[in-house]
Amino acid sequence: MREVVHVRRYRIVGPYRLWLQFTDGLAGEWDFSGLLKDARPVAKPLHDQTFFEQVFLDFGALTWPNGFDWSPEALHADMAAAGVLKFETAAA
């Protein structure tokens, strides 16, 4: 059985970049600037850096005030595939 992961904590580290720690202890930085190419109406507000920085955690998922959220499982898988996750016991 596969463990369900959630984002435990996050920190803004640059324009459209977040440091994320997951409930399995793995952590790393991720570049979300690809959102700037997303033309869907729900993603458009995130094109504004100030709005992007209004991110918060809702049940372990990155979420924004307009209801846009990001699956923590998909995000974890993408970050693992890119080789950016490593074990961290405390916030960097």
Beta pairing, strands 86-87 & 26-31: antiparallel
Is the residue at 2 inside a domain? no
Report the CATH number at residue 69. 3.30.2020.10
Residue 58: predicted pLDDT: 97
Q: What is the CA radius of gyration of the chain?
A: 13
How many domains are there within the chain?
A: 1
Categorize the per-residue pLDDT at 1 as very low, low, confident or very high, splitting at 50, 70 and 90: low
Specify if 66 maps to a domain. Answer: yes
Alpha carbons 9 and 7: distance in angstroms, whole number: 6
Phi, psi of 14 (to 5 degrees): 175, 180
Instruction: Tell me the pairing of strands 26-31 and 7-14.
Output: unpaired
pLDDT at 6 over 60: yes
Cα angle for residues 54, 56, 62 (degrees, 5° grid): 110
- Contact in structure between 76 and 8 (CB atoms under 8 Å): no
pLDDT at site 90:
57
Q: Is residue 75 part of a domain?
A: yes
Q: DSSP letter at 46? A: G
Question: Is 1 part of any domain?
Answer: no
Q: What is the pTM of this model?
A: 0.91
Q: Answer whether residue 92 is part of any domain.
A: no
78-87 confidence digits (pLDDT tens): 999 999 999 9
- Which structural domain, as residue segments, surrounds residue 76? 7-87
Per-residue pLDDT tens over the stretch 41-71: 999 999 999 999 999 999 999 999 999 999 9
- pLDDT level of residue 3 (50, 70, 90 thresholds): confident
